[in-house]
Amino acid sequence: MNIPVVDLNSFLKGSTEEKVQFSSSLGQAFEEVGFVSVKNHGIPEDLINRLYATVKSFFSLSEAEKRSYEIVGLAGQRGYTSFGKEHAKGSDAPDLKEFFQYGQIIEEGMVSPEAYPDNVKVSVPDDFNTLFHQAYRAFEVSGAALLSAIAIHLQLGETYFDEHIYLGNSILRAIHYPPILHEPKSAIRAEQHEDINLITLLVGASADGLEILSKEGEWLPVKAGPGEIVVNVGDMLQRLTNDRLKSTTHRVVNPPREMWNSSRFSIPFFLHPRSNMSLACLTSCISQDHPKLYEDYTAGFYLDERLREIGLKK
């Protein structure tokens, strides 16, 4: 499926008219499809390539080495999560993946409005921690620009999201779908689901497999063009906008049989606000024809509820 393509440079460096046009194009794509491909996204290609290289090295470690970074009690929000621990909401079948999560970093001089668990430090590969830190900050910058454009589209003012995402609870996740060694019970590596957060930025998956569910109920494959990243709406943003912006259902399917012996790697950035942000539906998105659909939740309460639903939190 050819999802809409937008050029972030036209928002960051364009005229006022180009900025408004970008915001309108992005907003329309998020209303109609829920997914968009972004070029000139600002995340350096060299950083992406080095990040994927170190992620592949990490997942090639022995099971014992990887499990040394799996920390009980963190609900998978930091460090390593072993194969088969997470499942989609409403599904009992575990996803066929293992992953590593890296969260917010409070650096010297920063004043954080809330406490976060420490990131789990990895000793091998030796550039792992540095690259995750650099990538995390780069994703924050690009994600903030995209949310500014969305705020303009929603007529909230360009800076609406700034205070909510500053030192927010975002997650950088590295995912490994191992080779398929025997006939699988399902054709699905990651069952159909919607993301929890505001928006997700997905850079350079190493193989095909991502599919989205169209309005007509068809599963359609999606892949960004060279140098582009895929960005989609999460449930928090859908909830905030009373379903005006679409958190589209998606999944990851198994490759053709001749590629079963290959791994798939994927690195999404789940952009979350701070936990105290209200997700109460915007009054501008409520009308007589489109009444309020959701209870008033905070982002923290909603995240906690969803982590329990997908099996990461007890």
Give me the CATH number covering residue 68: 2.60.120.330
- 214 found inside a domain: yes
Helix, strand, coil abundance in the chain, percent, nearest 5: 30, 20, 50
Residue 209: pLDDT band by 50, 70, 90 thresholds?
A: confident
pLDDT at 67: 96
- 100 found inside a domain: yes
pLDDT at 1: 59
pTM value surpassing 0.85: yes
Do residues 69 and 100 lie in contact, with contact meaning Cβ atoms separated by under 8 Å? yes
pLDDT above 70 for 186:
no
- 207 found inside a domain: yes
- 78 found inside a domain: yes
- 280 found inside a domain: yes
- Token digits of residue 303: 């995240």
- For residue 139, the enclosing domain spans 5-309
Average pLDDT, the chain: 92
- 203 found inside a domain: yes
- 314 found inside a domain: no
pLDDT above 60 for 206:
no
- 36 found inside a domain: yes
**Beta partners for residue 94, in sequence order:** 87
Alpha helix (H) ranges present in the chain?
A: 9-12, 16-32, 45-59, 63-67, 128-153, 162-165, 235-240, 299-309
> How many domains does the structure of the chain reveal?
1
The pLDDT of 114-136, averaged and rounded, is 96
